[in-house]
Structure 1
């Protein structure tokens, strides 16, 4: 099986940096809310977000990418399924 043969999933994530704990949960409207310990400096919050999503969806970090909104609080994240 080749890597990335499945259909990608795109989710919308609203990010809150500088939180006490890192967590991600889905809101009732389908938007995911991510609280990150990292500050939004030098891409640290984005790296933490990728790791958090990979853990939540049970996939490798390499399968997760930020499609749009890398510098904003609302991001579209692509998850490549196997």
Structure 2
């Protein structure tokens, strides 16, 4: 279990982490792009209509981390690009799967 998390990850409970992201909807392809300030930048192919971009964001994060979609939810920023996600799961995700953007 790491004690030093990247700036975009904060432990908020015994089995909960907050992930701070910047989302770019309507991209050609969904995936993690690097950093945007102190947030993890994620592109999603879905448009920001009817929560489609949020649903794809949750699915993308869950897929990359190897966890279930139900373990990820949007905590704040439902309608903006700047979002905070909460990840609640018994076993800590392998954060290295998000990429190394600490430098």
TM-score by length of 2: 0.69
RMSD: 1.8
**1:81: how far off?**
2.1
Higher relative contact order (CA 8 A, sep 6+): 1
For 1:14 and 1:28, how far apart are their aligned partners in 2? 7
For 1:10 and 1:57, how far apart are their aligned partners in 2? 14
* Structure 1 spans left out of the alignment, 5+ residues: 1-5
The equivalent of 1:80 in structure 2 is 88
Consecutive aligned runs of 4 or more in structure 1 exceeding 2 Å deviation = 25-30
For 2:64 and 2:49, how far apart are their aligned partners in 1? 23
Q: Count residues with an aligned counterpart.
A: 78
For 1:66 and 1:31, how far apart are their aligned partners in 2? 15
The equivalent of 1:62 in structure 2 is 70
* Cα distance, 1:58–1:30 mapped onto 2, change above 3 Å: farther
* Cα distance, 1:28–1:35 mapped onto 2, change above 3 Å: closer
**1:57: how far off?**
1.2
